[in-house]
Amino acid sequence: MDERTVLVINGPNLNLLGEREPEVYGHATLADLEDGCQVAAAALGLTADCRQSNHEGALIDWVQEGRRGIAGIVLNAGGYTHTSVALRDAVSACRVLVVEVHISDIHAREPFRHHSYLTDVTAHQVIGRGIDGYAEAITWLAEQR
């Protein structure tokens, strides 16, 4: 990875996009989302390194790996948004900008989803814009360079 790389990290259950609750998350798949990130990044002279894991430790490792020397991180931590102090601490240690992304509007859903451990340590949030929110996040990062 280098200063033109945007690290796109997706957390638990995002591998089920297109299957899981399409009325909430839409019909696009994780592959569709990743293709969209590649296109958005390329249009801005960047590259997108897209990763997904259901494991909290993997997300933390990737945030630490990308914490410096890249264009930024786009992070959809999935359910870990509402539970993981450890992931929050990893984001807090970043020396690059991190954008928190959520496909659905977490503030319009169940009360336990309203709180994010990440919001106060991320530079920007894109919430409730579907998978198009990822392109918006990548564009925001590019504009900050």
| Range(s) of the domain holding residue 52 | 5-144
- 102: which strand partners? 127
Site of tokens 């990130």: 37
Which segments of the chain are extended strands (E)? 5-10, 47-52, 72-76, 98-102, 124-127
pLDDT at 93: 97
Q: Give the number of residues written for the chain.
A: 145
pLDDT at 139: 98
- Type of residue numbered 145: R
The catalytic residues are: 25, 102
Give the neighbor-by-neighbor strand order of the sheet with 124-127: 47-52, 5-10, 72-76, 98-102, 124-127
pLDDT at 34: 98
CATH assignment at residue 38: 3.40.50.9100
pLDDT at 22: 82
> How many domains is the chain partitioned into structurally?
1
pLDDT at 42: 98
Handedness of CA 11, 3, 140, 130 (dihedral sign): negative
Q: Which residues define the annotated binding site?
A: 76, 82, 89, 103-104, 113
Site of tokens 């960047």: 46
Selection from 106, 110, 116 nearest residue 82 by Cα: 116
Ranges under pLDDT 50 in the chain: none
Computed on alpha carbons and rounded to an integer, the radius of gyration of the chain in Å comes to 14
Q: Which residues define the annotated binding site for substrate?
A: 76, 82, 89, 103-104, 113
| Confidence (pTM) | 0.95
pLDDT at 21: 82
